[in-house]
Amino acid sequence: MTISYNSSLQKATFFLTGFQGLEDLHGWISIPFCFIYLTVIAGNLTILHVIRTDVTLHEPMYYFLAMLALTDLGLCLSTLPTVLGIFWFDAREIGITACFTQLFFIHTLSLVESSVLLSMSIDRYVAICNPLRYSTVLTPTRIVKMGLSSMLRSALLILPLPFLLKRFQYCHSHVLAHAYCLHLEIMKLACSSIIVNHIYGLFVVACTVGMDSLFIFLSYALILRTVLSIASRQERLRALNTCVSHICAVLLFYIPMIGLSLVHRFGEHLPRIVHLLMSYVYLLVPPLMNPIVYSIKTRQIRIRIAKKFEFVKSLRGFW
């Protein structure tokens, strides 16, 4: 692979990779990816539309769900151009500015999703453990502040990464293993020491995903203690049932993340296709499954969506 690299870093070009060895099948491989992307966009837009148009869903729980849908939508759109560009047009070349911009959005939105999941666990904790204070604790103003602080924290922590990468010279191959840009992969192409990037990357993960997962675990420990103190078995099941959708969303986010981390660190002997599939699972499965889980497990959302489809069918029948 010829490298487009002159004296300045700004003229560097990276080369993205699809499914190596299966280039002749990229057109067919693009079909399931198109289906996934369309489902992600349609599902999350449906959730947002239902929450926006139905006044009865203007509650803290659904505001946080709208934040999750927006985050999933952004994460999907940040990878869509390069992934489908490779499959459809074999557009492998990406400029360094575009690459670092994509990297910034992918990592920022991943951290925002972790923060939103934490906010949703706080919502469930207050609703179950302090139901009388629910409306006074989670006011619209406080919810907006929680959302803005999640975005601000994530963006400020990820912002140094492109600048840390920009100071490197890339004398190794400029071929990336994925169809999008990731910090961990790009820094390995540098010919100088990357210890600062390693330390800062671990610091960011510890301050965000590490702390968020710890607080989510603690919130559910307190929720479980409260639920077990309820005398009625039916009331206990009803309280736990309100948490099922959120628990599924947490598992959909953290299990692929942990799996991808383990594959990167201990799976050098595994076929490259395993690394590739795990990275797609991490980025695409949560945005794909979250709307489905909430549509199935949340009765209010399910009823509203069913009513929307009935209304559309009635209009078709009228015309």
Q: Give a yes or no: residue 286 inside a domain.
A: yes
pLDDT of 171 reads 78
pLDDT of 315 reads 53
pLDDT of 185 reads 87
Task: Report d(CA 111, CA 124) in Å as an integer.
Answer: 20
Q: Give a yes or no: residue 264 inside a domain.
A: yes
pLDDT of 293 reads 94
pLDDT of 314 reads 61
Its pTM stands at 0.92
Torsion, Cα of 72, 75, 78, 84 (10° steps)? -70
Total domains in the fold of the chain? 1
Q: Give a yes or no: residue 168 inside a domain.
A: yes
Q: What secondary structure letter does DSSP report for 25? A: G
Q: Give a yes or no: residue 132 inside a domain.
A: yes
Look up the CATH number of the domain holding residue 232.
1.20.1070.10
108 within 8 A of 155, measured Cβ to Cβ: yes
Q: Give a yes or no: residue 114 inside a domain.
A: yes
Q: Give a yes or no: residue 317 inside a domain.
A: no
- Domain assignment of residue 120, given as a range: 16-301
pLDDT of 77 reads 96
Structure token pair of residue 115: 């923060």
Q: Give a yes or no: residue 148 inside a domain.
A: yes
pLDDT of 152 reads 97
Regions of the chain where pLDDT drops below 70: 1-11, 172, 231, 311-319
Q: Give a yes or no: residue 294 inside a domain.
A: yes
